[in-house]
Amino acid sequence: MSTLLPEYTLTQRLNGHRGAVNCLVFFRESDLLISGGDDQYIRCWDLQTGECVQELRDARWGQITTLCLLTKVPLLNLSSPVMFIGTGRGYLSMFSFSRRSRVFNAQMSSTELRFDHDDPVEGQAIDEVNGHLAICSHAGRVQVYKIVDSKTLEMKWALNLGQILPISLIFQGDTNDRLCVHSLYDGMARFYEVETSKFIHELGLPGGIGSVTLSQNRHFVAVQNLSSRRFEIYKSTESSHPAMSFSVSAQNRMIKQSAFGEEQCRALTLEHDDDCSNIYCVATDSSSDEHVIASGETEGRSKICIWVKLTDRRFAEDQAKKAELLLLEAQAAKDAEAARQAAIAQKLQDERLAEIEANQQRILEASQSQDSWTQYVILLLLIAAFFIPWKSAYSAFCDLAGMFLSTKIFGSIKIQED
C-alpha cells in the first residue's frame, strides 16, 4: 500500500522587482519575506496577502548583493530585530525593525562604506552567540565587527586575502570562536580566530567551490563542486571528504545557490513558468505546520515564487481529520435515512389509527341515533296509553312495536353494511 506524502503547492507569485532577485530572507516573527535585487530595492512582502508592504532604497547602494537578519542575541540588549544589507558599491546598511508598525525604520538606520565603490559585498555572517558580524568583498577582503547596537558596528579586525573571491563566511565552534572563509578561485576553506584574526589552518576541497550553505541546525554544509557539477554534503566545515554527493539537473548547467529545508531527505524539482529566466536565489523556512520555499528570477519584471507544503505531522493530522469527517458524514447520512424511514412508518401508523378512530366514531353516531329512535317510540306508547282506549291502545301498541322492530332490524343491517 502506498503512503500518501504532502506535496509542494505554488501559492503565490510576488511581482515588483525589475531585474534579478539576488537574495531572500524569511522573517517569520512578522510573517514577512525580505528580498533584494539588481533594481537596488529592498522589498518586504506580507506572506499572508502577497502584498509588498515596504520598499527601501538608497541611491548609494547599487545592486543588493547580500541580506541577513539579526533577531536576537542574548549578550546584546537589542529592542528589535536588525537587518544588514550588503550592496554592489561596497556599502553596508543597518535597519532596525519596528514591531509596532511592522516595517523597518528608515530613521533608525545607518549606511557606511565598508569596501571600495567598485568592490561589492559578497557575503555576510552573523554570530548570534557573541554578537559579531563578518563581511567579505569581491576583491578578497574580510572584516569582522562587534555589533554595538542597531546602528553601530565596532571593527575588530580586517584582512586582505587577495584574489581568491571569498563567497561564504561561517562562524563555527561551540562558542563561534572561529570564522571559516570559503573561496571560489582556489577551492579552499580557511579558518581564523574571531577574537584575534589569527590564521588557524586551511582545507582544500575537491574541485572549485560554487556555493556553500550551512544547515539550520549547523550540522551539515552543502558545497557545490564546480568541477564535477555535483553538490557535496559535509558533516562539518572541518571535514575535507563529503559524506554524500548528488547531482542536480539544470538547463543551463549553472547552479547559483542551495538551501536546506524540511525534516526528511526527498528529491523534488520546482519550476518557474518562465523558461527564459534563471533562478539566482532560494530560501527555505519551516514551522510546526508547514515548509516554505521562496525562489527569485533574474529577467525583466522578475517575480518571486512561493511554494508551501504541510509538515508530515500536520499532513497526517489533516488526513486523520478528513477520514473522521468522512465517517461522520457517512454516519449522518445513515442516521438521516433511518429517520426518514421511521417518519414514513409513523405516518402510515398515524393514518391507520385515524381510519380506525373514524370508523369507531361512525359506529358511535349510528348507535346514538338508534337509541334516540327507541326513546321516541316509548314516548309515543306512553302518550297512547293515556288517550286511547285499552283495546285500541293494545292494537296500536302492537302496530308500533312491529314498526319499531322492523326499523331496528333494518337500521342494524344498514350499520353493518356501512
Interval 25-56: pLDDT, tens? 999 878 899 999 999 999 999 999 999 999 99
Q: What pLDDT shows up at residue 247?
A: 78
Q: Which residue has the higher pLDDT, 62 or 371?
A: 62
Q: Is the dihedral of CA 193, 222, 226, 34 positive or negative?
A: negative
Q: What pLDDT shows up at residue 252?
A: 55
Distance CA 126, CA 72 (A): 11
Quick one: cell of 154? Answer: 565596532
Top mean pLDDT of 78-82, 134-138, 257-261, 371-375 is at 134-138
Q: What pLDDT shows up at residue 239?
A: 84
Residue 178, CA distances (Å) to 114, 127, 173 in order: 22, 10, 6
Q: Which residue has the higher pLDDT, 114 or 107?
A: 114
pTM across the whole model = 0.74
Mean pLDDT in residue range 367-378: 68
256 pLDDT band, cuts 50/70/90, is low
Quick one: cell of 341? Answer: 424511514
174 pLDDT band, cuts 50/70/90, is confident
Provide the 10 A C-beta neighbour count for residue 266.
Answer: 8
1 pLDDT band, cuts 50/70/90, is very low
Q: What pLDDT shows up at residue 209?
A: 85
Would you say 188 and 168 are in contact if contact means Cβ atoms under 8 Å apart?
Answer: no
Query: Which among 21, 17, 148, 151 is positioned nearest to 84, based on CA atoms?
Result: 151
Helix (H) or strand (E) holding 325: helix 312-387
Mean pLDDT in residue range 78-98: 93
Q: How far is CA 306 from the centre of its chain?
A: 11
Q: Among all chains, which residue has been given the C-alpha cell 569582522?
A: 144
State the alpha helices, DSSP H only, in 187-247.
none
User: Residue 97: what are its φ and ψ, rounded to 5°?
Assistant: -95, 135
Q: What pLDDT shows up at residue 120?
A: 96
pLDDT value at 410 more than 50: no
Q: What pLDDT shows up at residue 207?
A: 76
pLDDT value at 238 more than 50: yes
Residue range 283-299, pLDDT digits in tens: 888 888 888 999 888 87
Q: Which residue has the higher pLDDT, 59 or 380?
A: 59
pLDDT value at 268 more than 60: no
59-68, 256-265, 321-330, range with the lowest pLDDT = 256-265
Residue range 178-227, pLDDT digits in tens: 999 999 888 899 999 999 999 999 998 877 788 888 887 778 888 888 88
Beta bridge partners of 339: none
287-301, 320-334, 365-379, range with the lowest pLDDT = 365-379
Mean pLDDT in residue range 244-270: 64
Q: What pLDDT shows up at residue 414?
A: 43
Q: What pLDDT shows up at residue 417?
A: 44
Q: Which residue has the higher pLDDT, 132 or 272?
A: 132
Distance CA 265, CA 56 (A): 37
pLDDT value at 351 more than 60: yes
Quick one: cell of 80? Answer: 528589535
Indicate the average pLDDT of the chain: 83
Q: Which residue has the higher pLDDT, 245 or 23?
A: 23
Would you say 89 and 60 are in contact if contact means Cβ atoms under 8 Å apart?
Answer: yes
